[in-house]
Amino acid sequence: MVEAPEAVPEERRWKLADFDIGKPLGRGKFGNVYLAREKRSKYVVALKVLFKNQLQQSQVEHQLRREIEIQSHLRHPNILRLYGYFYDQNRVYLILEYAAKGELYKELQRCKVFSEKRAATYIASLARALMYCHEKHVIHRDIKPENLLIGMKGELKIADFGWSVHTFNRRRTMCGTLDYLPPEMVENKEHDASVDVWSLGVLCYEFLFGTPPFEAQKLSDTYRRIVRVDLKFPIKPVISTAAKDLICQLLCKDSSQRLPLKELLAHPWITANADPSGIYAGCGGASA
Ligand SMILES: Nc1ncnc2c1ncn2[C@@H]1O[C@H](COP(=O)(O)OP(=O)(O)OP(=O)(O)O)[C@@H](O)[C@H]1O
């Protein structure tokens, strides 16, 4: 359906008039996202509208270019497709896959915690998507609930590649929200694809206990807790030993000791709990 603009001849480049615009889906830092339908194919997409002056003011144009370059080349059921982009004088438009069930962040807020089955299904989907990214030498570096969307069938979709890098570009700059960053990134050291493995550990903990493991009132305390890997498991909710074992194997200070994603998929907690379809069907219902 929607082809990447650079693959399309000039006269067929996308423009706003190619789309019927529907309801707003949400508001972002640099603009709004709308439900939209490509007129010819009737294909439903999410159209993200970004204001150029806001992008310039925040000096994030290069970051957006990188996001477009990386995301448009990735094809995986658990990675939100970026079909293409176009722009006019004041705005940049991203043509995105529509994630019908919205933000994972909101689901987690609604449910407080996820069941072990649901958490394991999501973690396995993310591990598969990240394995795919890492094979293509892409590190996401910003895996957190706010950057995850849920598709029509309840499948998880990684969105927002704004902080991702090609490994040959890797830099030591610190980025992202502190809570999900590994020790080597908060300490501004060299890092590699294993930073994404760490954030899966943080996410798994948050899915099961409702808060990220190193959360603290003050930023400096979160920093200290991450660097020391000050990991504590609350007594409630009661979580299986296997889940805690997996979290401990992901949240290792020494990045070379973190469980490889392939081995994560074979971990007893994952094999016992994750739905092989990668779909958590209960989404939207009363239970977690
Ligand atoms: N592809 C999509 N399908 C469905 N809803 C979406 C989609 N993309 C965004 N949304 C909704 O629109 C909201 C705003 O998205 P957007 O990515 O602009 O915000 P953001 O999280 O602040 O990102 P950024 O940090 O890039 O500004 C999201 O929180 C989500 O509810």
Per-residue pLDDT tens for 227-236?
Answer: 999 999 999 9
Using left for φ > 0, alpha for ψ between -120 and 50, and beta otherwise, residue 176 falls in left
Alpha-carbon torsion (195, 197, 203, 208), positive or negative: negative
Check 142, 192, 196, 275 and give the catalytic one.
142
- At 103, which amino acid appears? E
pLDDT for residue 50: 93
Please say whether the beta carbons of 35 and 46 come within 8 A: yes
Q: Over the stretch 124-151, which tens digit does the pLDDT of each residue have?
A: 999 999 999 999 988 888 889 988 999 9
The percentage of residues in the chain with a pLDDT greater than 90, rounded to a whole number, is 67
Ligand 1: distance of its center to the CA of 10 in Å? 29
Count Cβ atoms within 10 A of the Cβ of residue 45 and give its class: 0-12 exposed, 13-18 middle, 19 or more buried. buried
Q: What is the DSSP letter of 79?
A: B
Q: Over the stretch 57-81, which tens digit does the pLDDT of each residue have?
A: 988 888 899 889 889 999 999 999 9
pLDDT at residue 89 is higher than 90: yes
How far apart are the C-alpha atoms of 41 and 163, rounded to whole Å?
Answer: 32
Ligand 1 proximity of 103 Cβ (cutoff 6 Å)? yes
Average pLDDT over residues 115-129: 97
pLDDT for residue 190: 74
How far apart are the C-alpha atoms of 283 and 253, rounded to whole Å?
Answer: 34
Ligand 1: distance of its center to the CA of 131 in Å? 24
pLDDT at residue 172 is higher than 90: no
What would the DSSP string read from start to end of 150-212? E-TTSBEEE---TT-EEGGG------S-GGG--HHHHTT----THHHHHHHHHHHHHHHHSS-
Q: Using DSSP, state whether 223 is helix, strand or coil.
A: helix
What b-and-e string marks burial along 4-40, b requiring 16 or more CB atoms within 10 Å of the CB? Answer: ebeeeeeeeebeeebbeeeeebeeeebbebbbbbbee
Give the atom of ligand 1 at the shortest distance from the alpha carbon of 157.
1
Give the atom of ligand 1 at the shortest distance from the alpha carbon of 31.
18
Q: How confident is the model at residue 288 (pLDDT cuts 50, 70, 90)?
A: low
pLDDT for residue 176: 53
Ligand 1: distance of its center to the CA of 98 in Å? 10
pLDDT at residue 11 is higher than 60: no
Interface confidence (ipTM) of the complex: 0.94
Pocket test for ligand 1, best of 2, 25, 142, 160 (most atoms within 8 A of CB): 25
Q: Over the stretch 218-268, which tens digit does the pLDDT of each residue have?
A: 999 999 999 999 999 999 999 999 999 999 999 999 999 999 999 999 999
Which phi and psi angles does 18 have, rounded to 5°? -75, -10
CA 123 to chain centre: 11
How far apart, in Å, do the first and last CA atoms of the chain sit? 35
Q: Which domains does the chain have, with CATH numbers?
A: 16-97 (3.30.200.20), 104-273 (1.10.510.10)
Is 142 among the catalytic positions?
Answer: yes
